[in-house]
Amino acid sequence: MTTRHRTSAATAVVGLVIAGAHFMGAASAHADDVKPSTPPGTEASASPPVAVKPDSPRLKLPQGGVLAAPKVLDMVEVVEDLGGEQRRQETNQTVMMALQSEVLFPEDSSVFNAQAAARIQAIANEINQQKATSVRVFGFTDDQGSYEHGKELSKKRADAVQVELAKTVTNPSVIFDVRGYSEDYPIADNGTEEGRKKNRRVEITFPRGAAG
Protein backbone atom coordinates (compact mmCIF):
# COMPACT_ATOMS: atom_id res chain seq x y z
CA MET A 1 0.00 0.00 0.00
CA THR A 2 1.08 3.58 -0.44
CA THR A 3 2.85 5.38 2.40
CA ARG A 4 0.40 7.18 4.67
CA HIS A 5 0.82 9.85 7.31
CA ARG A 6 -0.78 8.90 10.57
CA THR A 7 -1.95 11.43 13.11
CA SER A 8 -3.53 9.14 15.63
CA ALA A 9 -3.40 5.48 16.55
CA ALA A 10 -5.80 4.51 19.22
CA THR A 11 -5.96 0.98 20.56
CA ALA A 12 -9.57 0.75 21.58
CA VAL A 13 -11.07 -2.09 23.57
CA VAL A 14 -8.73 -4.82 24.82
CA GLY A 15 -9.90 -8.41 24.24
CA LEU A 16 -10.03 -9.98 27.66
CA VAL A 17 -12.22 -12.44 29.44
CA ILE A 18 -14.52 -10.27 31.51
CA ALA A 19 -16.12 -11.88 34.52
CA GLY A 20 -17.25 -8.81 36.42
CA ALA A 21 -18.96 -8.85 39.79
CA HIS A 22 -22.24 -7.11 40.38
CA PHE A 23 -24.30 -6.76 43.50
CA MET A 24 -27.74 -8.14 44.13
CA GLY A 25 -30.28 -5.36 43.72
CA ALA A 26 -27.90 -3.10 41.69
CA ALA A 27 -28.76 -2.29 38.24
CA SER A 28 -20.41 -13.29 -6.14
CA ALA A 29 -21.31 -9.72 -5.68
CA HIS A 30 -24.71 -9.72 -4.12
CA ALA A 31 -26.83 -7.70 -1.79
CA ASP A 32 -29.88 -8.26 0.34
CA ASP A 33 -32.37 -6.10 2.16
CA VAL A 34 -32.03 -7.81 5.53
CA LYS A 35 -30.84 -5.26 8.04
CA PRO A 36 -28.41 -6.74 10.58
CA SER A 37 -29.34 -6.62 14.24
CA THR A 38 -26.03 -4.92 15.01
CA PRO A 39 -24.11 -2.35 12.95
CA PRO A 40 -22.11 -4.02 10.16
CA GLY A 41 -18.58 -4.87 11.16
CA THR A 42 -19.35 -5.10 14.88
CA GLU A 43 -20.46 -8.72 15.05
CA ALA A 44 -18.61 -10.75 17.69
CA SER A 45 -15.78 -12.79 16.21
CA ALA A 46 -13.72 -13.67 19.28
CA SER A 47 -13.55 -17.18 20.74
CA PRO A 48 -15.97 -18.21 23.51
CA PRO A 49 -14.91 -17.13 27.00
CA VAL A 50 -13.04 -19.45 29.34
CA ALA A 51 -15.35 -21.15 31.82
CA VAL A 52 -15.21 -19.68 35.31
CA LYS A 53 -16.53 -21.56 38.33
CA PRO A 54 -18.72 -19.17 40.33
CA ASP A 55 -18.11 -21.16 43.54
CA SER A 56 -14.31 -21.18 43.25
CA PRO A 57 -12.71 -20.23 46.60
CA ARG A 58 -10.14 -18.15 44.68
CA LEU A 59 -12.77 -15.65 43.62
CA LYS A 60 -12.75 -12.64 45.90
CA LEU A 61 -16.35 -11.48 45.59
CA PRO A 62 -17.84 -8.97 48.01
CA GLN A 63 -20.55 -10.30 50.27
CA GLY A 64 -23.73 -10.72 48.23
CA GLY A 65 -21.89 -10.37 44.92
CA VAL A 66 -22.33 -12.76 42.00
CA LEU A 67 -20.54 -13.19 38.68
CA ALA A 68 -21.89 -11.46 35.62
CA ALA A 69 -21.94 -13.43 32.37
CA PRO A 70 -18.37 -13.66 30.97
CA LYS A 71 -17.62 -12.11 27.59
CA VAL A 72 -14.61 -12.04 25.29
CA LEU A 73 -14.03 -8.80 23.41
CA ASP A 74 -11.96 -8.47 20.26
CA MET A 75 -8.71 -6.55 20.24
CA VAL A 76 -9.48 -3.46 18.15
CA GLU A 77 -6.84 -1.11 16.75
CA VAL A 78 -7.91 1.98 14.84
CA VAL A 79 -5.53 4.11 12.75
CA GLU A 80 -6.60 7.25 10.87
CA ASP A 81 -4.72 8.96 8.07
CA LEU A 82 -3.91 12.64 8.06
CA GLY A 83 -7.24 14.44 7.73
CA GLY A 84 -9.22 11.29 8.50
CA GLU A 85 -9.71 10.46 4.83
CA GLN A 86 -8.92 6.80 5.40
CA ARG A 87 -9.41 4.78 8.57
CA ARG A 88 -8.08 1.29 9.22
CA GLN A 89 -9.65 -0.87 11.92
CA GLU A 90 -8.20 -4.27 12.79
CA THR A 91 -9.41 -6.99 15.12
CA ASN A 92 -7.90 -10.41 15.67
CA GLN A 93 -10.23 -11.66 12.93
CA THR A 94 -10.82 -8.90 10.37
CA VAL A 95 -9.44 -5.81 8.64
CA MET A 96 -11.79 -2.94 7.82
CA MET A 97 -10.81 0.01 5.64
CA ALA A 98 -13.12 3.05 5.63
CA LEU A 99 -12.70 5.63 2.89
CA GLN A 100 -14.49 8.97 3.13
CA SER A 101 -16.71 9.50 0.11
CA GLU A 102 -15.02 12.81 -0.71
CA VAL A 103 -11.74 11.05 -1.55
CA LEU A 104 -13.52 8.74 -4.01
CA PHE A 105 -16.45 10.60 -5.53
CA PRO A 106 -17.63 14.12 -6.41
CA GLU A 107 -20.54 15.41 -4.33
CA ASP A 108 -23.76 13.41 -4.76
CA SER A 109 -22.11 11.17 -7.36
CA SER A 110 -21.08 7.52 -7.69
CA VAL A 111 -18.53 8.21 -10.47
CA PHE A 112 -14.91 7.93 -9.30
CA ASN A 113 -12.58 10.88 -9.18
CA ALA A 114 -8.98 10.69 -10.43
CA GLN A 115 -7.48 9.46 -7.14
CA ALA A 116 -10.03 6.76 -6.34
CA ALA A 117 -8.68 3.86 -8.40
CA ALA A 118 -5.20 3.92 -6.80
CA ARG A 119 -6.65 3.89 -3.28
CA ILE A 120 -8.93 0.96 -4.03
CA GLN A 121 -6.25 -1.00 -5.86
CA ALA A 122 -4.00 -0.71 -2.79
CA ILE A 123 -6.76 -2.25 -0.65
CA ALA A 124 -7.29 -4.99 -3.25
CA ASN A 125 -3.60 -5.84 -3.05
CA GLU A 126 -3.92 -6.35 0.69
CA ILE A 127 -6.99 -8.54 0.15
CA ASN A 128 -4.76 -10.67 -2.09
CA GLN A 129 -2.02 -10.78 0.54
CA GLN A 130 -4.50 -11.90 3.20
CA LYS A 131 -5.87 -14.55 0.82
CA ALA A 132 -9.39 -13.42 1.67
CA THR A 133 -12.27 -15.43 0.24
CA SER A 134 -15.00 -12.97 1.25
CA VAL A 135 -15.16 -9.17 1.13
CA ARG A 136 -17.88 -6.85 2.42
CA VAL A 137 -18.36 -3.49 0.72
CA PHE A 138 -20.82 -1.27 2.58
CA GLY A 139 -21.76 2.29 1.64
CA PHE A 140 -23.05 4.96 4.05
CA THR A 141 -24.21 8.58 3.85
CA ASP A 142 -24.97 11.36 6.32
CA ASP A 143 -28.53 12.31 7.31
CA GLN A 144 -28.89 15.16 4.81
CA GLY A 145 -31.52 14.60 2.12
CA SER A 146 -34.05 11.78 2.03
CA TYR A 147 -33.34 8.34 3.43
CA GLU A 148 -34.24 6.67 0.13
CA HIS A 149 -31.89 8.89 -1.88
CA GLY A 150 -29.12 8.10 0.60
CA LYS A 151 -29.81 4.39 0.30
CA GLU A 152 -29.60 4.52 -3.48
CA LEU A 153 -26.45 6.65 -3.49
CA SER A 154 -24.67 4.57 -0.85
CA LYS A 155 -25.45 1.35 -2.74
CA LYS A 156 -24.23 2.78 -6.06
CA ARG A 157 -21.00 3.90 -4.43
CA ALA A 158 -20.50 0.48 -2.84
CA ASP A 159 -21.15 -1.14 -6.23
CA ALA A 160 -18.55 1.10 -7.88
CA VAL A 161 -15.94 0.18 -5.25
CA GLN A 162 -16.69 -3.53 -5.65
CA VAL A 163 -16.25 -3.36 -9.42
CA GLU A 164 -12.89 -1.62 -8.99
CA LEU A 165 -11.74 -4.11 -6.34
CA ALA A 166 -12.63 -7.00 -8.65
CA LYS A 167 -10.17 -5.70 -11.25
CA THR A 168 -7.24 -6.35 -8.91
CA VAL A 169 -8.43 -9.12 -6.55
CA THR A 170 -6.87 -12.28 -7.98
CA ASN A 171 -9.04 -14.94 -6.33
CA PRO A 172 -11.79 -15.66 -8.88
CA SER A 173 -14.02 -17.30 -6.26
CA VAL A 174 -14.01 -14.44 -3.74
CA ILE A 175 -17.53 -13.58 -2.57
CA PHE A 176 -18.48 -9.90 -2.38
CA ASP A 177 -21.30 -8.75 -0.10
CA VAL A 178 -22.32 -5.28 -1.33
CA ARG A 179 -24.86 -3.10 0.51
CA GLY A 180 -25.98 0.48 0.89
CA TYR A 181 -27.15 1.66 4.30
CA SER A 182 -27.95 5.34 3.72
CA GLU A 183 -27.67 7.23 7.04
CA ASP A 184 -27.87 4.10 9.21
CA TYR A 185 -24.97 3.34 11.55
CA PRO A 186 -23.28 6.77 11.80
CA ILE A 187 -19.81 6.80 13.35
CA ALA A 188 -19.82 10.53 14.15
CA ASP A 189 -22.20 13.38 14.98
CA ASN A 190 -24.37 14.36 12.02
CA GLY A 191 -24.90 17.72 13.70
CA THR A 192 -21.52 19.00 12.46
CA GLU A 193 -19.97 19.04 8.99
CA GLU A 194 -16.90 17.28 10.36
CA GLY A 195 -19.11 14.48 11.66
CA ARG A 196 -21.15 14.25 8.47
CA LYS A 197 -17.94 13.97 6.47
CA LYS A 198 -16.89 10.94 8.53
CA ASN A 199 -20.32 9.35 8.08
CA ARG A 200 -20.17 9.65 4.28
CA ARG A 201 -17.97 6.64 3.68
CA VAL A 202 -17.45 3.24 2.06
CA GLU A 203 -16.21 0.42 4.29
CA ILE A 204 -14.30 -2.57 2.91
CA THR A 205 -14.00 -5.49 5.34
CA PHE A 206 -12.20 -8.81 4.87
CA PRO A 207 -10.86 -11.56 7.14
CA ARG A 208 -7.26 -11.67 8.25
CA GLY A 209 -5.42 -14.56 6.67
CA ALA A 210 -1.94 -15.97 6.28
CA ALA A 211 -0.41 -12.48 6.15
CA GLY A 212 -2.15 -11.36 9.36
Low-confidence residues in the chain, pLDDT < 50: 1-27, 32-37, 211-212
Output DSSP code: residue 122: H
If residue 203 lies in a helix (H) or strand (E), which one and from where to where? Answer: strand 201-207
| Residue 99 near residue 86, CB atoms below 8 Å | yes
- Helix H, strand E, coil C: the string for 138-178 is EEECCCCCCHHHHHHHHHHHHHHHHHHHHHHCCCCCCEEEE
**What phi, psi does 203 have (nearest 5°)?**
-110, 135
For residues 66 and 137, give the distance between their C-alpha atoms in angstroms, rounded to a whole number. 42
pLDDT tens, residue by residue, 78-103: 787 767 799 999 988 899 999 999 99
Specify the pairing of strand 65-67 against strand 17-18.
Answer: unpaired
pLDDT tens, residue by residue, 43-90: 655 566 677 777 777 777 777 777 777 776 667 777 877 677 999 999
pLDDT at 8: 38
If residue 197 lies in a helix (H) or strand (E), which one and from where to where? Answer: helix 193-199
| Residue 134 near residue 206, CB atoms below 8 Å | yes
Distance of CA 113 to the CA centre of its chain: 23
